[in-house]
Chain A
Amino acid sequence: MSVLDVRNLSVQYPTENGAAEIVKDISFKVEKGEIAGLVGESGSGKSTAMLAVMGLLGERASVRYDQITVSGEAPVPGKNVAMIFQDSLSCLNPSVKIGRQIMETVRSRRKCSRKEAASRSQELLEMAGIRNPELRMRQYPFELSGGMRQRVVLAIALACEPELIIADEPTTALDALVQAQILQLFKRIVRETGTSMLMVSHDMGVTAALCSRVYVMHGGRIEESGTAEDIFYSPSEEYTKLLLRDARGGSLSGMKKEDSLAGQADKCRAEDEPILKMEHVTKIFDASEGIRDLSLEIRSGEILALVGESGSGKTTAARILTGMLTEDEGTVYYHGKVLDRRKRMELFEGRVQMVFQDPYASLNPCLTVREALAEALEAAACRKSVKTDRDRMMQARTDEKIDEMLRMTGLTPEDADRYPRDFSGGQRQRIGIARALIVEPEILVCDEALSSLDATTREQILELIFQIQRKIGFACLFISHDMHVVRRISDRIGVMYGGHIVETGKTKKICADPWHPYTKQLIEAVPEPDPIRAAKIKAAPVKDSADINPSGCAFAGRCGYAMECCGSEIPEDYAFEGREIFCFLYSDRHSGRRSSDYRMTSQI
């Protein structure tokens, strides 16, 4: 008998114009001890279907089904099924200690004393890969890192002793390395406890890494189902093929850039000095946050990507460049001239624009698209022009410009008079891009601009940024924790760890042959949409605290190749063939003195 057996499940929501069917007559099964996957883009009804299975949908939803059983019985949340959600921060109560949140689960499942519950909780936390559970139980959710919180959530789910765990996008909010750790944890838990798992995800790579059976969902229907091998190697439905193509990322049409742009970019490099350059900039907030002795430059017409896990200082670096933060030490140059912060702010009115991560929060809900774009134009122009009689003409020109910008970002001029709430996440991000580009900036800063979008939308926006960049030719600083995205859009990459740049160089070279141990980990941690290869993803050992030793290499504590000198000296900058790397493995000391024409190869 299957652990989960769902037959003909439909979910409807009443709307103004009749009932909207979010889930349309789907059936699926999960067998004992297996991890099944449900993939599809956001809005395909995956989460709604899962909540319906759990019986946790609101009263407005009308749920119909022929059968939902967990090992032949009706599903009871917290007893035979448990669920894990995407955002571990919001699904743990912020003002209740971890220990209490897990103990109450233990005690609601079976009657036992506080003491027994506490020791059982510790056991569960340890099982979920948390070291020092006693300490963690006395802490609040905000005191733990994202990866650790997701482990806590898993421990809570395990406390229910369920036959099935439904995991709804459990790793989407995590960066690649932590994701790899969590995925391995899931595998181990399923193997050790015999619990079955239903993994809901938009990420084909994650699905490939874990699942043995896959259901592809689209528009409320299950389009295709089968074993992982069937789905990934011989998909029959068009939609599945599309998902796989997006996930493999071969189709970015701008990939033809080699012929048209690589040459051009090289030309730029030869004659242009960098637009923006920072040298030895330090900005420290906390013992573990901020950036240290960072040098970076953006050249005109290039896309420079900064990658690294959260807290590695990417955003800080960008904020210093744009003048939103003041550096503690170091200098910033603009076209070769030194700029202090105040001047930077002034100069950058209109010349540097940002696209933010959250397309919902970064648009004012009370302004129509036209108003938002016009405001941006006005803000950029207000320094130059005092009000003139030509206001009306200006108005007409503004409108024209707005229409043109909307068309360029894949929206229509009619969209201008609508409000942000009328748009989907991807469309809102288009508006954000339009707002940034309408003032014709020299530099566009995209701070995790794609992170909150699902795969298909991300693909479209990625392509959009790429296309427009190639067309207009602004410089772009692209910040992301997603190596997969960065690899495809950027010309150059700066890999950051612990406030330092550990490696920079041309994207293609770095991705094909990462030199720094951290870069290597980062690239290997991304699961590919291929069950055989994804099963082999490596997870770096878990570190409870990413304590950074200020007197040595930042990465030394997590590095498998760390030598004695890594703990006591900060590696210098070793440059070979346009690549710079900050690692002792590439020092003279380690690899010997080299002549100038020596071809450096990866040392690991």
Chain B
Amino acid sequence: MLRYTWKRILTGILSLFVLVTVTFFLVRLIPGSPFRQGGVSEQVVETIEQEYGLNEPVLTQYFSYIGNVLRGDLGVSYQDPATRVTEIIARAWPVTASIGITALAVSVLLGTGLGILRAVTKRRFVRELISAGGMLAAGIPGFAAAILLLLVFSVKLKWLPASGLLSPAHYILPVTALSLYPAAMIARLVGNTLDSELQKDYVLFARAKGIGKWQIIFTHALKNAYLPVLNYIGPASASLLTGSFVIESIFTIPGLGREFVGSITNRDYTLILGLTVFMGAVVIIVNLLTDLLCAWLDPQTRRAYKKAGDSAK
């Protein structure tokens, strides 16, 4: 288990490295130059390129970039040389993360609640309703749901603000749009795994020893049912934390997604690379944590972990 952890961390670092490399060369393949816009004279462009080291061989650029990344320096934005890429991330990520974490919390709570309800209810109507609603929520593409919400709640009904993130009310629409899909998936997963857990003998035995229905669900069945759900929540939270281009664009939220879209249209090499490295790191770290958490939650692997730790001492 300890070896497994190290292996996972090392493969994480390796995939981050591959990610940086591939993105670095892909970015260079985008036609055009970041500075050749709006009729700037050739001489100026050359001076600027020299300034940023863009006239050197690509490989040299690559190695100096890798060196900088290792030092935690992601360079300055070409579009706005006064700000460093790290500053842009520090500005935009909290915005994205605040929506992402809220959406994650909403989808976990809503999804788990509905999943439990679906597994427990004796009314067939409720079951079918939750299943059908889940399918609908998972089926509608994010941008369609976002536009629909925008149209209904802010344009027609004028209940909620349409753009920006000034007050808690501003959060409602983007968070709803973001959490529809994960909530539906979680509800479905929780419902299914809980259904099969409730068939198991230990539930029957718990009933035979006089434990109440809700106690059985929360202290017994859910504990075993949640492992596969966690395996979904991990990657889902990674994608929520790195932001959605579409949702952020529709609701004009100054988050990572919007910065990313902007950086690509501007061919802002350093910003594209910096954001990719950052998002990649977030995804890899969150997935690593999920895997370790899942392993830890399973008592059998946890005990193996402890044993290995003891013998290592």
Cα separation A156 to B210 with both chains bound (whole Å): 11
Cα separation A56 to B300 with both chains bound (whole Å): 30
Choose among A54, A82, A95 the residue that contacts B298 (Cβ–Cβ < 8 A). A95
Assess whether B56 is interfacial by the CB under 8 Å rule. no
- What residues of B have a CB within 8 angstroms of the CB of A159 in the complex? 209
Q: Are B303 and A85 in contact (CB under 8 A)?
A: no
Cα separation A112 to B229 with both chains bound (whole Å): 35
Q: Are A91 and B201 in contact (CB under 8 A)?
A: yes
- What residues of A have a CB within 8 angstroms of the CB of B211 in the complex? 78, 104-105, 108
Answer whether A94 and B299 are a contact pair too, CB < 8 Å, given A56-B204, A104-B215. yes
Cβ distance A61 to chain B, nearest Cβ, rounded Å: 14
User: Closest residue to B223 on the A side, CB-wise?
Assistant: A95
Assess whether A25 is interfacial by the CB under 8 Å rule. no
User: Closest residue to B210 on the A side, CB-wise?
Assistant: A78
- What residues of A have a CB within 8 angstroms of the CB of B122 in the complex? 59
Q: Are B201 and A77 in contact (CB under 8 A)?
A: no
Q: Are A56 and B210 in contact (CB under 8 A)?
A: no
- What residues of A have a CB within 8 angstroms of the CB of B300 in the complex? 94, 140, 142
Q: Are A83 and B208 in contact (CB under 8 A)?
A: yes
Q: Are B210 and A79 in contact (CB under 8 A)?
A: yes
Cα separation A510 to B186 with both chains bound (whole Å): 61
Assess whether B167 is interfacial by the CB under 8 Å rule. no
Cβ distance B136 to chain A, nearest Cβ, rounded Å: 29
Assess whether B39 is interfacial by the CB under 8 Å rule. no
Assess whether A116 is interfacial by the CB under 8 Å rule. no
Q: Are B209 and A140 in contact (CB under 8 A)?
A: no
Assess whether B205 is interfacial by the CB under 8 Å rule. yes
- What residues of B have a CB within 8 angstroms of the CB of A153 in the complex? 205
Q: Are A78 and B209 in contact (CB under 8 A)?
A: yes
Answer whether A85 and B299 are a contact pair too, CB < 8 Å, given A76-B210, A79-B210. no
Assess whether A93 is interfacial by the CB under 8 Å rule. yes
Cα separation A79 to B211 with both chains bound (whole Å): 10
Answer whether A160 and B209 are a contact pair too, CB < 8 Å, given A56-B204, A91-B202. yes
Choose among A56, A78, A94, A160 the residue that contacts B202 (Cβ–Cβ < 8 A). A94
Q: Are A96 and B210 in contact (CB under 8 A)?
A: no
Q: Are A77 and B202 in contact (CB under 8 A)?
A: no
Q: Are A96 and B223 in contact (CB under 8 A)?
A: yes
Cβ distance B127 to chain A, nearest Cβ, rounded Å: 14
Cβ distance A70 to chain B, nearest Cβ, rounded Å: 13
Cβ distance A379 to chain B, nearest Cβ, rounded Å: 34
Q: Are B208 and A104 in contact (CB under 8 A)?
A: no
Q: Are A91 and B204 in contact (CB under 8 A)?
A: yes
Cα separation A95 to B297 with both chains bound (whole Å): 8
Cα separation A248 to B204 with both chains bound (whole Å): 34
Cα separation A545 to B79 with both chains bound (whole Å): 71
Q: Are A93 and B209 in contact (CB under 8 A)?
A: no
Choose among A59, A83, A142 the residue that contacts B205 (Cβ–Cβ < 8 A). A83
Q: Are A95 and B299 in contact (CB under 8 A)?
A: yes
Cβ distance A6 to chain B, nearest Cβ, rounded Å: 17
Cβ distance B30 to chain A, nearest Cβ, rounded Å: 50
Q: Are B220 and A77 in contact (CB under 8 A)?
A: no
In the complex, which of the residues B205, B220, B298 has the most CB atoms of chain A within 10 Å of its own CB atom?
B205
Assess whether B200 is interfacial by the CB under 8 Å rule. yes
Q: In chain A, residues 49-64, which have Cβ atoms closer than 8 Å to a Cβ of chain B?
A: 54, 56, 59
15 sampled A-B residue pairs with Cβ under 8 A: A77-B207, A77-B209, A77-B210, A78-B209, A85-B205, A90-B202, A91-B202, A91-B205, A93-B202, A93-B220, A93-B224, A108-B212, A153-B205, A157-B209, A160-B210
**Residue positions of A touching B, CB distance < 8 A:** 54, 56, 59, 76-79, 82-83, 85, 87, 90-96, 100, 104-105, 108-109, 140, 142-143, 153, 156-157, 159-160
Closest 6 pairs (CB-CB, A-B): A78-B210, A91-B205, A83-B208, A90-B201, A91-B201, A93-B202
